[in-house]
Amino acid sequence: MITKGFFRGFAALAVAVGGFSAASAAELRGIALSANSDSAQVTLDLSDGTTQKLFTLDHPDRVVIDLPHTARASGVHAPSGSGVVSEVRLGPQPHGTLRVVVELRSALPAHTTWGATGQGRRLIVSLGQPIVAAVAEPAPKAVRAAHAVGDGDRDVVIAVDAGHGGDDPGAIGHGGTREKDVTLAIARALAARIDAEGGMRAVLTRDRDQFLELRERIRRAHAYHADMFVSVHADSIADRSVSGASVYVLSGHGASSEAARLLAERENAADLMGGVLEDKGELRPVLLDAAQSEIIGVSATAAERVVIALSSVGEIRRREVQQAGFVVLKSPDMPSMLVETAYISNPAEERRLRSLEQQQRLAEAIADGVRSYFLQNPPDGTRFKQERRTLASAADTSTGATP
C-alpha cells in the first residue's frame, strides 16, 4: 500500500505536468463499473488517449486515477458503488486534471489497460481478479485483454444476445413456439458460427432459459469489452400473412415507422415480465449526445451489412435498416443492432424458425454480415486491422512484377 507521503509526491508531479497547459485536451465521455464481492472493473471512455497516473491509498482503501488535461463531458456521472466498490467519485483537480476515485471495501491490486473504441480511447482499470469470467454461463473462454494497444491481433468480440428468456417468453406463435426458445437456438448457432471464423469471437449474454433485464444484457456485453452487440428476436403481428426479417438500430428522435415504434414498445416491455419495476424514463425517446448519435451511424452501417446477408437466405421484410427506441440498444459506446429474424406469427415462418437448418442459415447470414462490416471497419489492435494493413502495404509495394 502506498503511503500518504508517496501520494504527496504524486500530487506534486501532477502539478508539474499539469503546469504546461491549463486547456483540456481530452474529454471523459463515459464511465462504467462492473463489480462483484472480490473484484471490479472501471471502464473510462475518453475522446483521446491521455497519460494517466494510478495510485492507491488506504483508510479507506481506494484507487485514484488522475487524467491530466481531461474534462468531464456534460451528462457524465460517476456510477454508484456496487460489490467491493463502495463509491466512485469524479472531481476536477488543479491544472485541468480530472481525478477518479474508486473507494473499496477492501484493498485490491489494480492495473490499467488502454484500448481503442470506435470513437476514442478506453482505459480499463482492473481491480482484483478479472470480473469477466463471472458474468455468463457456462464459463466463457479465456478472456484476453480486449482493446489492448500493441497486442495487434486480438479477436473482434461480438456479444450475441438471445432475446427474452425465463418469465418472459417473448412472442408465441400459433403453433406454440416461444420466441425465447428460438432466439436462444439462433444465438447459440450464431456464436458457434462467429467462433469458427478467424479473427472473431462470440460471447453470449445468456446461454440458458433465464430472465435478464435489458440493462443487464448491455452490462454483460460491456464486461466482455464487446466490439458489437447483436440482439436476436422473432417478430409477431396480428396479420398472419406478414413475413420476413428486419434489422433495427436505436433511434433518438422517434421511430422510422409506427410499426417500428410499436415493436420497440413490445420489446422494451420485456423488463416488466420479469417483475422489474418500470423505469418510465426508459420508454421515452432517448436524448442523444454526439457520441450516441455517432454510434447509431456506425450501428446502421453494420446493420446494412446484416440486411444484405439476410436477404440472401430468405425473405426480407424491410430492406432499409429500421430505427426505434429499443432500450437494449442504448449503449453509448458499442455499435448495437436488433435482428428480427422472421415473424413467429406467420405459420410458415414459425415452422422454419423451429428447424435447425433455418436456424443455421440465419446464424450464418448474420455472422457473414458482421464479418463483412469488420473487414471494412476493423477496430485497432485486431487481427482484421493487421490483415488490412498487410494487404495495403502489399498493394503499395507491388509493382506488378511477380512477388
The footprint of Zn ion (CB under 5 A) covers 163, 170, 233, 267
Closest approach of Zn ion to the CB of residue 263, in Å: 8
Nearer to Zn ion, 267 or 368 (CB): 267
Cell of 260: 417500428
Closest approach of Zn ion to the CB of residue 218, in Å: 16
Closest approach of Zn ion to the CB of residue 209, in Å: 15
Nearer to Zn ion, 170 or 378 (CB): 170
- Under a CB-based contact definition with an 8 Å cutoff, are residues 93 and 14 in contact? yes
Closest approach of Zn ion to the CB of residue 226, in Å: 20
SS3 107: coil
Cell of 230: 447483436
Cell of 7: 501520494
> For residue 387, with 0-12 CB atoms within 10 Å meaning exposed, 13-18 middle and 19 or more buried, which class applies?
middle
Closest approach of Zn ion to the CB of residue 236, in Å: 8
Q: How many helices (H) and strands (E) does the chain have?
A: 9, 15
Nearer to Zn ion, 233 or 330 (CB): 233
Closest approach of Zn ion to the CB of residue 232, in Å: 9
Closest approach of Zn ion to the CB of residue 285, in Å: 20
- Under a CB-based contact definition with an 8 Å cutoff, are residues 24 and 82 in contact? no
Cell of 387: 490483415
Closest approach of Zn ion to the CB of residue 134, in Å: 27
- The span from the CA of 56 to the CA of 36, in Å, is 19
Nearer to Zn ion, 170 or 335 (CB): 170
Nearer to Zn ion, 140 or 163 (CB): 163
Nearer to Zn ion, 155 or 235 (CB): 235
Measured CA distances, 395 to 319, 335, 381, 399 (Å): 35, 30, 21, 8
Instruction: Name residue 229's beta-bridge partners.
Output: 159, 336
**Range list of H helices, 167-289:** 179-195, 214-223, 258-268, 270-273
State the residue number with the nearest CB to Zn ion.
233
- DSSP one-letter code for 99: E
Nearer to Zn ion, 68 or 163 (CB): 163
Taking phi first (over 0 means left), then psi (-120 to 50 degrees means alpha), and beta for anything else, what does residue 275 get?
A: left
- Under a CB-based contact definition with an 8 Å cutoff, are residues 173 and 242 in contact? no
Nearer to Zn ion, 169 or 347 (CB): 169
